[in-house]
Amino acid sequence: MIPWGGLGCCVSAAALYLLGRSSGRDADVLRSVTRVGQLKDLAIFLETACKVLPFIVTVSGRVGSETPINCEQSGLRAVIVEEMAEQHFLKHNDAGSWIQDSALMLSMSKEVPWYLDDGTGRVYVVGAKGATGLVLTIGSEVFEESGRSLVRGTLDYLQGLKMLGVKRTERVLPTGTSLTVVGEAIKDDVGTIRIQRPHKGPFYVSPKNIDELIANLGKWARWYQFASMGFTFFGVFLLAKRALEYILERRRRWELQKKSSCCSSKTTSTGG
């Protein structure tokens, strides 16, 4: 029998080892990026580092926009808004009991041009939704109960459903949020400076500062390494145990065969 448990542990150990190496490399890359203390200095950095491509920097500031979105549910002003509506209901299962389930009715996303402002200058951020570390906060979460009309209740019953209501969730990136962005800094034809995802390199949009990002990656790298060692030891133990059991089983069968052969030989000799 193939020792799937031991092999699975060894494969998991290898995967965790690679994740740890990747997190460690990401931490090293973040240590090497250019730190821009004030956004007004970014234009100077770009001029002096024009031959370095891509020019990876880290900047910090507060989120702002010339055309912010006025959120309907929460009343907040935001630059990224995700709206989702889920229908919640009870349904009959094969055992005849009611279980709760949900189905997605609506999923919408809006984003307007936005920038970071630290009081000394501005830099626009492009493609933030695809960046690592971006977490939208819940601006509003409302549950609207379904109506209890006789006709609707009868239809639901015939379909094996009981409608509970609709849950509407609004996730936003509000204006005024403090963020740190790591990415490629470029200047377009009209002189606007923006940060975007580099073709090769890190792209972070996070409420954590650069030192916190580096420390977090280092922590995960160490955790992956320890977990990899644990899975390796356990996997080797399971493989060794299975190998020992296999050897003992083969030895037991060989001894039984040997005894059987001896008995057969004695029987033949007695009969003669």
Structural domain contains residue 196: no
Q: Mark out the alpha helices in the chain (DSSP H runs).
A: 4-32, 42-48, 150-158, 210-271
What is the reported pLDDT for 8?
83
Please, what is the Cα angle at 46 between 42 and 50, to 5 degrees?
Answer: 170
Q: Which two tokens stand for residue 154?
A: 């009868």
Considering the domain architecture, whether residues 227 and 172 belong to the same structural domain is answered as no
> Which of 176, 201, 227 is the last residue before a domain boundary?
176
Same domain? For 71 and 167 the reply is: yes
One domain, residues 74 and 156: yes
- Check whether residue 92 and residue 163 sit in a common domain: yes
Q: Both 91 and 3 in a single domain?
A: no
Same domain, 150 and 253: no
45 occurs within a structural domain: no
Cα gap 29→54, rounded to integer Å: 13
3-state DSSP call for residue 55?
Answer: coil
- The string of DSSP letters for 82-108 reads EEEEEEEEEEE-TTS-EEEEEEEEEEE
Mean pLDDT (the chain) is 84
Instruction: Kindly state whether residue 44 falls inside one of the protein's structural domains.
Output: no
In this structure, is residue 48 part of a structural domain?
Answer: no
Residue 268 forms part of a structural domain: no
Query: Comparing 20-24, 67-71, 129-133, which segment has the lowest mean pLDDT?
Result: 20-24
pTM of the shown model: 0.74
Let me know whether 128 and 220 are in one domain.
no
Of the residues 157, 176, 195, the one at which a domain ends: 176
Distance CA 5, CA 227 (A): 16
- Could you tell me the CA-to-CA distances from 57 to 12, 84, 183 in Å, in that order? 35, 34, 6
Q: What percent of the chain has pLDDT over 90?
A: 30
pLDDT of residue 37: 87
Q: Structural domain tally of the chain?
A: 2
Q: Is the pLDDT of residue 145 over 60?
A: yes
The set of residues, in sequence order, having a beta carbon less than 8 Å from that of 188 and lying 6+ positions away, is 194
Structure tokens at 127: 């493609």
Among residues 211, 231, 184, 232, which one has the least CA distance to residue 54?
A: 184
Task: Find the domain containing 215 and state its range.
Answer: 1-24+209-263
- Contact criterion met (CB below 8 Å) for 197 and 131: yes
Query: 13 — phi, psi (to 5°)?
Result: -60, -40
Helices (H) and strands (E) in the chain, counts: 4, 12
Which residue in 196, 178, 83 sits closest to 130, CA to CA? 196
Note whether 99 and 13 are same-domain residues.
Answer: no
Does a structural domain hold residue 36? no
Domain end among 160, 176, 192: 176
CB proximity list for 143: less than 8 A, separation 6 or greater: 88, 165, 166, 167, 168
- Are 213 and 171 members of one domain? no
pLDDT tens per residue across span 25-39 = 888 888 888 898 898
The pLDDT tens digits for 254-264 are 878 877 777 66
Mean pLDDT across 52-68: 89
Mean pLDDT of the region 239-259: 81
Q: pLDDT confidence of 265, banded at 50, 70, 90?
A: low
* Residues 171, 64 share a domain: yes
Q: Do 172 and 237 share a structural domain?
A: no
Query: Does a structural domain hold residue 195?
Result: no
* In a domain? residue 31: no
Same domain for 63 and 170, yes or no, is yes
Q: For residue 117, what pLDDT is reported?
A: 94
